[in-house]
């Protein structure tokens, strides 16, 4: 596909200016049900980063990493739990909204201690 230069530049600019979906994600151990919950202003990118870190044996949750190594990637699932609902309001704060959403899901999923990999 050979687009005119101006069209191509406009499409690239539009892509760069479009905000990535923000949200909360979960990494579930399907063997014992333990769960890790995280949030990001780029939720898909965060899940990709977590998967990469686990494969490279450098994830910040040492307990999750230990189980990943012991059981293998096939026993874990990655999912987007919730997304920040974007608003056109000029005072809308995506980061604050994400923090509220993450707090809600951390409490809802009880992903601390024996139930999960997050630290309080």
Domain boundaries, the chain: 20-85
In this prediction, residue 79 carries a pLDDT of 97
d(CA 44, CA 115): 24
Helix ranges (DSSP H) in the chain: 5-17, 43-55, 62-71, 94-109
Convert the pLDDT of each residue in 23-77 to its tens digit: 999 999 999 999 999 999 999 999 999 999 999 999 999 999 999 999 999 999 9
Instruction: Specify whether domain 20-85 bears CATH 3.40.1440.10.
Output: yes
Convert the pLDDT of each residue in 91-116 to its tens digit: 999 999 999 999 999 999 999 999 99
Strand duo 35-40 + 23-29: pairing: antiparallel
In this prediction, residue 38 carries a pLDDT of 98
In this prediction, residue 1 carries a pLDDT of 66
């Amino acid at each position: 596909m050979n687009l005119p230069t101006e069209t191509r530049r406009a499409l690239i600019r539009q892509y760069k200016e479009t905000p990535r979906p923000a949200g909360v994600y979960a990494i579930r151990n399907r063997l014992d049900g333990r769960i890790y919950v995280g949030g990001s202003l780029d939720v898909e990118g965060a899940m990709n980063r977590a998967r990469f870190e686990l494969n490279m044996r450098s994830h910040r949750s040492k307990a999750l990493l230990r189980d990943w190594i012991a059981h293998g990637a096939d026993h874990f699932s990655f999912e987007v739990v919730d997304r920040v609902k974007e608003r056109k309001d000029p005072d809308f704060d995506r980061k604050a909204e994400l923090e509220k959403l993450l707090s809600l899901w951390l409490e809802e999923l009880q992903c601390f201690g024996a139930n999960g990999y997050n630290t309080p």
